[in-house]
Amino acid sequence: MKRRQPMFSNPMLSLIIPVHNEAEVIPALLKRLNRVCRQIPGSVELLFVDDGSHDDSVALLLRARTHESGIRVVQLSRNFGKEAAVTAGLEHARGEAVVLIDADLQDPPELIPAMVREWQRGADVVLMKRRSRAGESWLKRTTARLFYRVINRLSDAPIPVDTGDFRLMSRRTVDALNRLPERNRYLKGMFAWVGMPTVTLEFDRDARAAGSTKWNYLRLLHLAMEGITSFSTRPLRLALVLGLLAAGAGGLFGTWEVLRALVFGISTPGYASMIAIITFLSGVQLLCVGLLGEYVGRIYMETKQRPVYIVSEDSDDPARTVLPQLRVAGNDQKH
């Protein structure tokens, strides 16, 4: 990361804003961010990571950059997903502290000065806990709650309930995160794993200012799987226990049937119970195999050593925008 140091001194604060087709909110976002930046005692870098948008997001940001300083646009070569975009932001940010914030104004930027104050008082991590979630359906709220509950039951580093990615992190926390080499980036879990002295502030989460959410339930399920399997091997043990229980029950039942046949003679055709047992046991087996498969798949992805993202353009580093000179994150984030 050394060679990314700029000529001028580092900004005090970097705001990392992942952007995926957010053209509708960008004008409002820039306006609010500008107002907030003026209240922050120090220089601020607005680091937009464009995650393969195919609307006017990048054009809007680059235009804003021509008449406002402190805006940087890092473009990924395609849509890699929010976790990868945030990873890219964390690796490119130069600030002494970093704030992660969504582009859709669901995390009110007006809270940033308060977060900076907590950091200046010595906190390494300032977590923003949602008191309410405006504009989110009952189903989304319930599934989110369920998600946290399941994950925390299963994984080793508990994730604080009702906190999203909206947070401030000190330089040393960000450096620690950047040293985590895994390719399956389950950031919430990684944040929790890194730890560090943390202060939690409460806020009311706003509804999306414009545009539509990029989440759907399939993605949420994927994230849940990621959360469970990347931070715990407990489900593997669960599979073992389940298998043992099923096999034990099957064994007992079998013995009982044999004894009964010996004492009373062969009485029942037993067809129905056979089918029931076979389906139950093959279900348990498939479950365990599937669970193993999840982990094996993850091992496979990790062994490929692919970078988490590819940068195609960096507004502060135009020399690297030619495609053959693509910067490969994986080379950079190690050592």
List the one residue out of 21, 15, 22 whose CA is nearest residue 209. Answer: 22
The position carrying tokens 């950047």 is 178
DSSP assignment of 46-96 equals EEEEE-S--SSHHHHHHHHHHHSTTEEEEEESS---HHHHHHHHHHH--SS
**Separation between Cα atoms, residue 2 and residue 209, nearest integer Å:** 37
Which span (12-20, 31-39, 265-273, 277-285) binds ligand UDP, by CB under 6 A? 12-20
Q: Which of 75, 106, 198, 232 binds ligand UDP (CB under 6 A)?
A: 106
Q: How far is the CB of 106 from Mg ion (least distance, A)?
A: 4
Tell the smallest beta-carbon distance from residue 175 to Mg ion (Å). 28
Overall residue count recorded for the chain in this entry: 335
| Residue 213 found at the interface with ligand UDP (CB under 6 A) | yes
DSSP per-residue codes, 188-242: HHHHHHH--SEEEEEEEEPPPSSS-----HHHHHHHHHHHHHHH-SHHHHHHHHH
Q: How far apart are the first and last CA of the chain?
A: 9
Q: Is residue 51 near ligand UDP by the rule CB under 6 A?
A: yes
Which of 12, 16, 22, 227 is close enough to bind ligand UDP by CB under 6 A? 22
CB of 229 to ligand UDP, least distance (A): 21
Show contacts with Mg ion in window 78-137 (CB under 5 A).
104, 106
Q: Which of residues 60-89 bind ligand UDP (CB under 6 A)?
A: 79, 81-82, 85
Size of the site for ligand UDP (CB under 6 A): 17
Among 24, 45, 91, 102, binds ligand UDP (CB under 6 A): 102
Using CB under 6 A as the binding rule, whether residue 215 contacts ligand UDP is answered as yes
Closer Cβ to ligand UDP, 115 or 291, answer by number: 115
- 163 interacts with Mg ion by CB under 5 A: no
- Residue 159 DSSP symbol: P
Q: Which two tokens stand for residue 255?
A: 């013995």
Interface ranges with Mg ion (CB under 5 A): 104, 106
Interacting residues with ligand UDP (CB under 6 A): 18-20, 22, 51, 79, 81-82, 85, 102-104, 106, 208, 213-215
